[in-house]
Structure 1
């Protein structure tokens, strides 16, 4: 391999890895070697090996000649819409390439580019450098996910700050009221009771914030064990027993044997507890909440929690699993809801390789279904049959049957 080829490949590799010094040195070497060539080289006259390097790049790599014509590119450049035929699509990148060609200085910049023909846009980081005497190399990374994650993090911190202000501020005001009413035992008792309520709300909020943060980490489930989901559902119903009695709501549990998964017992129990507690909070007095655990015919374990509550509007159903989102903020405040319960359910399901779905109609109630990969059982290996799947569109009536299973 000659010096020009080696320098070219070094430039591509150095820039792709983000190693500025290595990339710059390689580009300078390539530039010096290129001066021994003819003053005008064919636009497609690239050293051997460049195509192979571009082909394996995960980022978008594009090589343009002195007339801004694309002479080579990585597959990602086409997939992301940066290249169309031999044209570099976005004017911002063209101008950057021309500037580098003019003075030979490596440039880096971040752009918000139009995606396709619509109004959608995406954020990219571009690094452009001369490649020999006649070409310019552009390396473009899609940073849209990075920016989105940063925005989610900012929103999360802002929401946490806002949510913490309410109970903390309430406790501070109540403490001041207790001091001012020190000579009135009845007022002190009343304010102390309110302080107890706010402190419990604050404790629950902090606990759920910590739990959600842990679930979003890569090590949420470090040592999975065999989990009996039916036992988790029974425990979840027991945890909500006092809340159900306060609301005059019956919680009916039906579990099939052998509904086991690999995962974390406490996390699964917490997820089902959140669904049951949510169902109780949004149900009318004297109604029923059904909890069903079954093994679907295709193998996964399904946990369905059905209520006869107020239901959820269709345009709200897409957002209910967002952190701090509440369909009825006033009702959440009355029931002590934090807006994190369903977000925790979603992350528990995803961390176990499953998902959570919702069926709901205003005035008819809701059914939340967690679907998790089932642990292989002996009957599976022998080809044992399971119960037939219920109609996917049918919704059980928890008041009519103790088995509210649905196949979402």
Structure 2
């Protein structure tokens, strides 16, 4: 090969190698440009993860990209965190605001609970955590807000209920002064003042009783209580009222119906149920009271009437304070609207429950269920009397009341037509 040809081929080879080198460098630069640089996640300050793991409230830590990097178990259980995201935009906005200016924020928020329409009220405290994180502490205060609303409603209802008898006494006193020369008018107004005074006394007494029952456990020194004897005492307390109303009260008690608790409170609860049954029953009807020991270690007290009954919607509310199925009738009979609320609290303080069965036109049955005292500690219960007959058929108590009074059934039927 001549020197000229060799030089030419060498030049071409050099150009090819140079081109390959340029292409290689270009591809390498392009690969480097396409690489995604992942910055290391800033580490949490020491001890934060351990504290979050034992928090009962919802603790959440987010980083500079709004990702949840750690949280307490409660935050997931309460639906505040899903994966690495904050579920509620309100909390995310708070975290961003704190990250922006470094100021601690404390707010109350009304958040959606889950995917439904339910809401939850929370108290949120959001603060910077080091240079790269934000800490959110979220506490569910829904129950506290509910208690506050109930207390506010209670005070409003008490004020309203107190105004009626107090206003009545004031007006009657003025009328009494104006009728000083009329003996008949004086007697009439004085009688009315006595009625309103007793109503006011009963209201104040039941408010005080209910307030006591809503506190801590009032059964501090429980004793063995004969529920049958309590039922008999409760019937006796309502004897005059039943007689004036023309209502017959029948009672049947079984032996071995004993519980641990406060006998006076149990008697009060049963008496309230009997008084309530009398108030909502017509003259000529019957109220039945029975006690029995049931399988499963329970003692049951059932109060059955032949009244008009309670609709399903109202059954959900009858244990609320001051709620009345028939407000006009309750006030006419001196009812305060607190009797069933007191029953509920007495029963719950004894570890039991109270239920209602009712059907419009057939009457109602209220059943108190209490944990029975062990048989070996209840030997003092009276033995069954020979020939004693249960006035209520088996299965009636707590399931179906005694047969409705004909007049009551007819009136209920007319009301439904």
TM-score (ref. length: structure 2): 0.82
Deviation at 1:249, TM superposition (A): 1.1
After superposition, the Cα gap between the structure-2 partners of 1:86 and 1:44, relative to the gap in structure 1 and judged at 3 Å, is farther
Match of 2:307 among 284, 306, 309: 309
Which of 216, 222, 235 aligns to 1:224? It is 222
Answer whether contact 1:43 1:66 (CA < 8 A) is retained. Answer: no
Gaps spanning 5+ residues in structure 2: where? 1-37, 379-393, 406-417
1:106–1:128 Cα contact (<8 Å) kept: yes
Does the 8 A contact of 1:101 with 1:130 survive in 2? Answer: yes
Aligned 8 A contact 1:43 1:134 in 2: no
CA shift for structure 1 position 119: 2.1
Q: How does 1:231-250 map to 2 (within 5 A)?
A: 231-250=229-248
1:395 alignment partner, one of 368, 385, 400: 400
Paired residue for 1:64?
62
Q: Is structure 2 residue 87 aligned with structure 1 residue 89?
A: yes
CA distance in 1, matches of 2:397, 2:171: 51
Cα RMSD between the aligned structures? Answer: 2.0
Tell me the SS of whatever aligns to 1:289. strand
Matched with 1:255 is 253
Segment of structure 1 superposing worse, 109-118 or 178-187 = 109-118
2:18 aligns with none
1:92–1:250 CA distance, 2 compared to 1 (3 A)? same
Q: Which structure 2 residues correspond to residues 8-407 of structure 1 after superposition, within 5 A?
A: 42-43=40-41, 45-47=43-45, 49-378=47-376, 390=395, 394-397=399-402
Shift of 1:287: 1.3
Deviation at 1:103, TM superposition (A): 2.0
Could you tell which deviates more after superposition, 179-188 or 87-96? 87-96
In 2: Cα distance, 1:253 partner to 1:120 partner: 46
TM-score by length of 1: 0.83
Greater shift, 207-216 or 52-61, is seen at: 52-61
Mapped contact 1:226–1:261 kept (Cα < 8 A): yes
Separation in structure 2 between the aligned mates of residue 273 and residue 379 of structure 1, nearest angstrom? 26
Secondary structure in 1 matching 2:161: helix
Q: Is the 8 A contact 1:289 1:398 kept in 2?
A: no
Structure 1: gaps (5+ residues):
1-39, 381-388, 401-408
Would the aligned equivalents of 1:259 and 1:295 in 2 still touch at CA under 8 Å?
yes
Deviations 1:162-193 (A, max 9, x none): 00000000000000000000000000000000
Deviations 1:200-257 (A, max 9, x none): 0000000000000000000422211111111100000000000111111111111111
Larger radius of gyration: 2
Report the Cα distance in structure 2 between the residues aligned to 1:248 and 1:390, rounded to whole angstroms. 27
User: CA separation in 2, counterparts of 1:174 and 1:44?
Assistant: 79
